Amino acid sequence: MKTVVPKLKDIQRRWWVIDARGQVLGRVATRAAILLTGKHKPNYVPFMDVGDYVIVINAREVVLTGQKEKKKVYYRHSGYPGGLKSVTAAQVRATHPERLIEWAVSGMLPKNRLRKVYLRKLKVYADDRHPHQAQQPLPYPLV
């Protein structure tokens, strides 16, 4: 059996809108990661970008289960001694609610050169307005 590698002209990209209002963060992030990588398509290959564009709206109203709102901590380090910074999920939601979804999706994508390519196709907005109406995005049902 031969491996079929899709040509660039054969890749058809769609635009999807995911409404995160009242949805659990992990569910939204996994669906977005699948759409971005193209794993829902029959012509998926792991070494090429065959995925679609994803718009996530209402990121401010995504749900964190349990006590993650207070106890989930995001860390980053500057590389200098004593440079460890931390911020809770509640603080992130108050300042930049889009980052909750961006960080969750980023953690679900492959850790290689394609990660940046995939993340460029992810558009996250805190409210229900987005500037991508010209692309005629289709609503993606989360059940």
- Domain of residue 42, CATH code: 3.90.1180.10
Q: Rounded distance, CA 8 to CA 85, Å? A: 42
pLDDT at 120: 98
What pLDDT digit, counting tens, does each position of 73-123 carry? 999 999 999 999 999 999 999 999 999 999 999 999 999 999 999 999 999
DSSP 40-100: TSTT--TTS----EEEEE-GGG-B--TTHHHH-EEEEE-SSTT-EEEEEHHHHHHH-THHH
pTM to 2 decimal places? 0.93
The rounded distance, in Å, linking the Cα atoms of 55 and 15 is: 7
- Residue 131's domain comprises 12-64+96-139
Structural domain count, the chain: 1
Identify whether 43 is part of a domain: yes
Residue 40 lies in a domain: yes
| Band of residue 132 on the pLDDT scale cut at 50, 70, 90 | very high
Domain membership flag for residue 115: yes
> Does 90 reside within a domain?
no
* Residue 82 placed within a domain: no
Residues 44-75: tens digit of each pLDDT: 999 999 999 999 999 999 999 999 999 999 99
Of residues 93, 17, 85, 30, the one with CA closest to residue 59: 93
- Residue 1 is predicted with a pLDDT of 82
Residue 41: pLDDT band (50, 70, 90) is very high
Q: Please check whether residue 78 lies inside any domain of the structure.
A: no
Instruction: Work out the pLDDT band at 143, boundaries 50, 70, 90.
Output: confident
Please report, for residues 1, 43, 60, 69, 77, the alpha-carbon distance to residue 94 in angstroms, rounded to integers and kept in the order given: 52, 40, 8, 11, 21
56, part of any domain: yes
Q: What confidence score (pLDDT) does residue 94 get?
A: 97
Kindly tell me if the per-residue pLDDT of 4 is higher than 90: no
Strands 15-19 and 84-88: unpaired
Give the angle subtended at the CA of 126 by the CAs of 124 and 132, to the nearest 5°.
50
Question: Of 21, 28, 40, which Cα lies nearest the Cα of 126?
Answer: 21
SS3 10: helix
